[in-house]
């Protein structure tokens, strides 16, 4: 059992985590908007959620986990103006909104799988399948006087919620609308946000690809309300932990809190965790710089997704990280080496001292850099397989599985080359032996020489 301390964005303090229900932790992770492939920065949030889930499970609790799928309502500006990301993508690709959303939702699941992110019993509710639940909350907000109508939709009046902006202590007065594409002069306060937006068809214009009837007119829900509705439906309110990227603190998460607390009079979640961003080669990821990379991009460059996971864990989730191809390639080589070494470790029992340290690092606000340093140390000191496997329950680098995989289905031709090389070595024909090694490596294999034996394994790239 580990005591877990987490840095709570809500209080700005590191606090001992205590769940509401005994032996069941309820966690909500803000999920992807499925209009395009998630990039590596997006995936950092789900690695955080995964490390957190594994740490809680390791400490003996079940985790009830919900990750929402945003398939409507997220506008290009991240605010209340501009096009809907899904509709824009559908028009660009000449597909229906439904097809776009399902396609990229599946791409997201593939990324989760590639990164060994646990999701077997995770719930992935879709916004479009919870319109009724969203409308129900909007009705309550309107009845209680927190909502008002404008010519383009129903808005939340943030001046009616005295705690507005409490998450991360956002200074509302300093928040300007400058970054928005348009400014809505009908809004009572700049921080007010859309709960429901009318479709152009509500005033005789064109129909949207996705729109629904509501008490306020045909339209679609604002981006934030789905999280309030679906977290409540599946996890109740308050629930234990809510996570997301730091970009969500000022607007999206404060808006979720405002809606949920004003509608139901109780907190939304007790703990809020936020992960920092990834920059790429020192620059912010952006379309214009062409530096938005995905997990498939890593795979195309022969980098195993778990090498990216290893690289990510070398930084604390609350520290910004700078992605470079060199660094992630280095992580790939390191992981490959560790997988080979894993095979050579003893079958002795768990090294208790190492594991106690490991638990204390994870329990201290998920300090993965320290946990990884300890892992490397355990390899250097040739601790047992079981010790590494115990750490891997949380790190999720899949040592047992990968070390099996690199020995499976070795082709006959390569086996023959290996035998030929073994003979060359016995005959001290070093030139031939080197040439054969090169040939073997070209086929995606690696050789490890041990006395007069050689061990043949696939390289890590061949497992992608």
Enumerate binding residues for Zn ion (CB under 5 A).
30, 227
Between residues 30 and 195, which has the closer beta carbon with respect to Zn ion?
30
Dihedral sign for Cα 414, 300, 398, 367, please: positive
Q: Cβ 273 to Zn ion, closest distance in Å?
A: 13
* C-alpha torsion 302→303→305→309, nearest 10: 180
Between residues 67 and 331, which has the closer beta carbon with respect to Zn ion?
67
**For the purposes of burial, counting CB atoms within 10 Å of the CB of 218, is it exposed (0-12), middle (13-18) or buried (19 or more)?**
middle
Q: Which of 87, 179, 196 is nearest to 136 (CA)?
A: 196
Q: How far is CA 308 from the centre of its chain?
A: 12
DSSP element (H, E) containing 434: helix 430-442
Q: Cβ 332 to Zn ion, closest distance in Å?
A: 33
DSSP state of 177: S
Between residues 31 and 363, which has the closer beta carbon with respect to Zn ion?
31
Residue showing the smallest CB distance to Zn ion in the complex: 227
Q: Cβ 183 to Zn ion, closest distance in Å?
A: 24
Q: How far is CA 330 from the centre of its chain?
A: 22
Residues 6+ apart with CB under 8 A from 290: none
Between residues 30 and 257, which has the closer beta carbon with respect to Zn ion?
30
Between residues 30 and 141, which has the closer beta carbon with respect to Zn ion?
30
Between residues 4 and 30, which has the closer beta carbon with respect to Zn ion?
30
Between residues 30 and 307, which has the closer beta carbon with respect to Zn ion?
30
Q: Cβ 170 to Zn ion, closest distance in Å?
A: 16
* Strand duo 147-150 + 5-8: pairing: unpaired
Between residues 61 and 255, which has the closer beta carbon with respect to Zn ion?
255
Gap between the Cα atoms of 318 and 246, Å rounded: 9
Residue with tokens 């001992």, as numbered in its chain = 16
SS3 breakdown of the chain: % helix, strand, coil, rounded to 5? 45, 15, 35
Apex CA 251: angle with CA 247 and CA 254, to 5°? 110
Q: Cβ 348 to Zn ion, closest distance in Å?
A: 46
Q: Cβ 224 to Zn ion, closest distance in Å?
A: 7
Gap between the Cα atoms of 324 and 81, Å rounded: 34
Gap between the Cα atoms of 429 and 224, Å rounded: 69
Q: Cβ 248 to Zn ion, closest distance in Å?
A: 7
Between residues 225 and 406, which has the closer beta carbon with respect to Zn ion?
225
Q: Cβ 252 to Zn ion, closest distance in Å?
A: 6
Q: Cβ 86 to Zn ion, closest distance in Å?
A: 16
Between residues 55 and 68, which has the closer beta carbon with respect to Zn ion?
68
Gap between the Cα atoms of 164 and 280, Å rounded: 33
Q: Cβ 167 to Zn ion, closest distance in Å?
A: 12
Residue 247: other Cβ atoms inside 10 A: 16
Question: How many angstroms separate the Cα of 113 from the Cα of each of 81, 99, 106, 328, 437?
Answer: 34, 21, 11, 19, 33
Residue with tokens 């997990």, as numbered in its chain = 295
Between residues 117 and 306, which has the closer beta carbon with respect to Zn ion?
117
Q: Cβ 227 to Zn ion, closest distance in Å?
A: 3
Using H for helix, E for strand and C for coil, what is the string for 223-262?
CCHHHHHHHHHHHCCCEEEEEEEHHHHHHHHHHHHHHHHH
Asked if residues 368 and 314 have their Cβ atoms less than 8 Å apart, the reply is yes
Between residues 74 and 197, which has the closer beta carbon with respect to Zn ion?
74
Q: Cβ 190 to Zn ion, closest distance in Å?
A: 21
């Amino acid at each position: 059992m580990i005591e877990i301390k987490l840095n709570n964005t809500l209080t700005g303090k590191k606090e001992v985590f205590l769940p509401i229900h005994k032996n069941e932790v309820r966690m909500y992770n803000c999920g992807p908007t499925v209009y395009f492939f998630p990039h590596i920065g997006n995936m950092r949030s789900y690695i955080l959620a995964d490390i957190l889930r594994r740490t809680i499970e390791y400490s003996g609790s079940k985790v009830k986990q919900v990750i929402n799928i945003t398939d409507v309502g997220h506008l290009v500006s991240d605010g209340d103006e501009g096009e809907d990301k899904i509709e824009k993508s559908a028009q660009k690709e000449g597909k229906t909104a439904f097809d776009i959303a399902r396609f990229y939702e599946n791409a997201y699941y593939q990324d989760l799988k590639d990164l060994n992110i646990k999701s077997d019993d995770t719930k992935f509710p879709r916004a479009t399948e919870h319109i009724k639940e969203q409308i129900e909350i909007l009705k309550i907000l309107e009845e209680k006087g927190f909502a008002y109508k404008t010519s383009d939709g129903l808005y939340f009046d943030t001046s009616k919620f005295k705690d507005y902006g409490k998450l991360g202590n956002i200074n509302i007065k300093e928040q300007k609308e400058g970054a928005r594409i348009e400014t809505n002069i009908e809004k009572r306060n700049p921080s007010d946000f859309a709960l429901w937006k009318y479709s152009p068809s509500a005033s005789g214009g064109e129909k949207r690809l996705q729109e629904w009837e509501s008490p306020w007119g045909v339209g679609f829900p604002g981006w934030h309300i789905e999280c309030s509705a679906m977290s409540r439906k599946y996890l109740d309110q308050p629930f234990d932990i809510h996570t997301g990227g730091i970009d969500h603190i000022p607007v999206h998460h404060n808006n979720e809190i405002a809606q949920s607390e004003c509608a139901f009079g109780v907190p939304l979640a007790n703990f809020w965790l936020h992960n920092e961003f990834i920059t790429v080669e020192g620059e912010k990821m952006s379309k214009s710089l062409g530096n938005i990379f995905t997990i498939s991009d890593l795979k195309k460059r022969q980098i195993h997704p778990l090498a990216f996971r290893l690289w990510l864990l070398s930084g604390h989730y609350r520290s910004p990280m700078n992605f470079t191809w060199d660094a992630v390639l280095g992580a790939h080589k390191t992981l490959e080496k560790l997988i080979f070494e894993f095979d050579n470790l003893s079958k002795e029992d768990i090294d208790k001292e190492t594991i106690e340290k490991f638990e204390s690092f994870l329990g201290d606000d998920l300090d993965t850099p320290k946990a990884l340093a300890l892992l490397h140390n355990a390899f250097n000191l040739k601790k047992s397989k079981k010790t590494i496997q115990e750490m891997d329950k949380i790190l999720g680098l899949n040592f047992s599985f990968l070390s099996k995989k690199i020995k499976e289905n070795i082709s006959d031709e390569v086996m023959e080359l290996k035998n030929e090389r073994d003979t060359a070595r016995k005959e001290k024909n070093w030139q031939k032996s080197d040439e054969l090694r090169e040939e073997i490596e070209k086929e995606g294999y690696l050789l490890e020489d041990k006395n007069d034996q050689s061990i043949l394994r696939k390289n890590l790239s061949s497992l992608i």
